[in-house]
Structure 1
Amino acid sequence: MKAKWITPVVTALDKDGHVDVEGNKSIYDFLIENGMDGILLFGSIGEFFAVPIEEKKALIREAIRHIDHRVTVYVGTCHMEFETCVELSNYALEQGADGVMVISPYYFSLPESAILNFYRTLAERVHGPLLLYNFPDRTGHDLTPDMIYKLVSEHENIVGIKDTVATMGHTRAIIQKVKTEYPDFMVYSGFDEFFGHNVLSGGDGCVAGLSNFAPEVASGYAKAARQDDLKAMTEYQQKIDSLMAIYDVAPQFIPTIKKAMVVRGVNMEPVCAMPLLPSTEAETEEIQKILHKAGLVEK
């Protein structure tokens, strides 16, 4: 099976809320050394919405240099001001990113014509691989399989999608609609627990957040899938299912993921940008219980 697990990596911030370049480099090394297939900078978990453009550019430049082709690097370049989105996308590609990922415009619930126009114009202006990012719970609208097919058939540089939808049937429909004719189009799930279903249905894996603190579990699952080892896949699926409880610890999952990384010994500050609040003592205790149950930390 084709199978990759890409980490939508957190963005390490210092105590003043600015990007900690050296701290982020340590995180990248932690992920790569534990077998991850790729890294996505400035996805949702990377708090793309809260980092100033110049700090984004600085980290993109330093991250790509530091990773140095050891794994695939995608960059989330969404910005609600369209020209800035184009500028940041081309900047990331010029620095050596393997592709850019852009969520559809949020806040307004847009008609299909507006969404298609957005991505068509973006694909024409971006000088390299572009991945779509579908997250209806955050945008208020859905990228349907038919819409995705239209975009892929019109633009060779639209090369993949992250489909963050809680119904695997939606992602399966994209696989069946698009990959039948465009087999190289990459279809990733945005939920960790759908990894196995995704690759068994002919998809490419997932771009999902548990790998920030459990990279050896995620990379082990991807390796088992590539080896068609269904027994090992079953074992990894059950471990992932257990770890999914992390998302229920608090309404804000980014602080929870950062705290889980600290609990696991990653050298970073669990600082998040406003308005996200740090994990409480009670939440930290719950995180420790989940990680212990999964065999990732001792009591």
Structure 2
Amino acid sequence: MYEEVKKKLRGSIAPVVTPFNEDETLDLATFCSLIDWHIESGSHAISVTGTTGEPSSLTIEERVLLMETAAKQVNGRVPFVPGTGSTNHQETLYLTKKAKELGADAALIIVPYYNRPSQHALYKHFKAVADAVDIPIIIYNIPGRTATNLHVKTLAQLSKDCENIIGVKESNKDFEHVNRVLLECGRDFLLYSGIELLCYPMLAIGGAGHISATANLVPGKVAEIYDAWQAGEVNRALNLHYELMPLNDVLFKDTNPAPLKAALGMMGKTKPVLRMPMDVPTKELQEEIRTVLQDYVEVVTNS
């Protein structure tokens, strides 16, 4: 039933930032221009309101507005995969139903954060959402931020019991874990890297692509890693992997998306505004970001 969508949900799914004006209101005009830039640059799909989109700093109404705006702007040009997860089960259901209503190709649903559910509770949570909303679901496992790791056995059981759970974004540095995902869930299960330095290695074990914050700065190069691999140009993909490593490194010297937004500000793409409790990087880190960034793109402002 989901074979066609699984074929097209491959490559670089760009997790677009949420731009704010100086007064911290949503900057929807910039948001739309960023989506266009991603598509024109070769990103294979668009995601919004995932970790890079600062969902915990947004109201539910703002998350819905961003999903609606993105769905209209994407307009079917590439697949659309909004983040609909929350620490609250009912909010997750509500947002996932909205994604379905908007015609999203899939929903990206994070492991609930802060609550630290058991594996049994995680199974019940994801199964209830999958049963309630007929939309392809990609689970988002990021234990470094949720304090809970979705075990491979739990994920495998969900993939067997819920036909619409079609993949997982693994922001998991345990490479043995991600290997076992495909062993237990099947090689046709969609495995995406959410760790920048694992985008290339995950393709080598059968991954479907990546959802990388770095795509916000160099969308063409991040997409090209997948394109080169698919074309059998292994050395080109490997060279891009190492070429992007310094940029990937500096972007995670503070909590994402603070360095990323600082870099986008330096590129003139958006204002480097975050909502508290997040804040811009220190001046020292901003200078380091600027120095590294200049090797990849034109830096157009010193602000």
TM bracket (short chain): over 0.9
| Residues 248 and 203 of structure 1: CA distance in aligned 2, closer, same or farther (over 3 Å) | closer
Within the alignment, does 1:167 sit opposite 2:161 as a pair?
no
Aligned equivalent of 2:216, options 174, 188, 212: 212
Aligned equivalent of 2:286, options 266, 284, 287: 284
| Residues 254 and 82 of structure 1: CA distance in aligned 2, closer, same or farther (over 3 Å) | same
1:236 match: 240
1:26 match: 33
Aligned equivalent of 1:79, options 86, 92, 96: 86
Q: Aligned pair count? A: 293
Q: In 1, Cα distance between the equivalents of 2:238 and 2:211? A: 19
Within the alignment, does 1:133 sit opposite 2:133 as a pair?
no
For 2:228, the aligned partner's letter is A
Runs of 4+ in 1 over 6 A off after TM superposition: none
Task: In structure 1, list runs of 5 or more residues that go unmatched.
Answer: none
Within the alignment, does 1:257 sit opposite 2:264 as a pair?
no
For 1:255, the aligned partner's letter is A
For 1:31, the aligned partner's letter is H
Cα deviation for residue 281 of structure 1 reads 3.1
Cα deviation for residue 248 of structure 1 reads 4.1
For 1:155, the aligned partner's letter is C
Cα deviation for residue 265 of structure 1 reads 3.1
Indicate conservation of the 8 Å contact 2:251/2:289, yes or no. Answer: no
For 1:258, the aligned partner's letter is K
Cα deviation for residue 253 of structure 1 reads 2.7
Indicate conservation of the 8 Å contact 2:250/2:292, yes or no. Answer: yes
Within the alignment, does 1:195 sit opposite 2:199 as a pair?
yes
Q: In 2, Cα distance between the equivalents of 1:106 and 1:298? A: 36
2:298 match: 297
Cα deviation for residue 252 of structure 1 reads 2.3
Indicate conservation of the 8 Å contact 2:18/2:54, yes or no. Answer: yes
Q: Secondary structure at the match of 2:51?
A: coil
State TM-score, norm by structure 1. Answer: 0.93
Calculate the aligned-residue CA RMSD, in Å: 1.8
TM alignment of 1:7-22, pairs within 5 A? 7-22=14-29
State TM-score, norm by structure 2. Answer: 0.92
Cα deviation for residue 156 of structure 1 reads 0.7
Cα deviation for residue 196 of structure 1 reads 1.4
1:216-257 CA distance string (max 9 Å, x none): 2102212111101012112101112121222344x3231210
For 1:187, the aligned partner's letter is L
Q: In 2, Cα distance between the equivalents of 1:190 and 1:38? A: 15
Cα deviation for residue 13 of structure 1 reads 1.1
Q: Secondary structure at the match of 2:81?
A: strand
For 1:270, the aligned partner's letter is P
Q: In 1, Cα distance between the equivalents of 2:215 and 2:111? A: 24
| Residues 298 and 277 of structure 1: CA distance in aligned 2, closer, same or farther (over 3 Å) | closer
Q: In 1, Cα distance between the equivalents of 2:95 and 2:20? A: 20
Task: In structure 2, list runs of 5 or more residues that go unmatched.
Answer: 1-8
Cα deviation for residue 52 of structure 1 reads 0.9
Indicate conservation of the 8 Å contact 1:13/1:20, yes or no. Answer: yes
Within the alignment, does 1:113 sit opposite 2:115 as a pair?
no
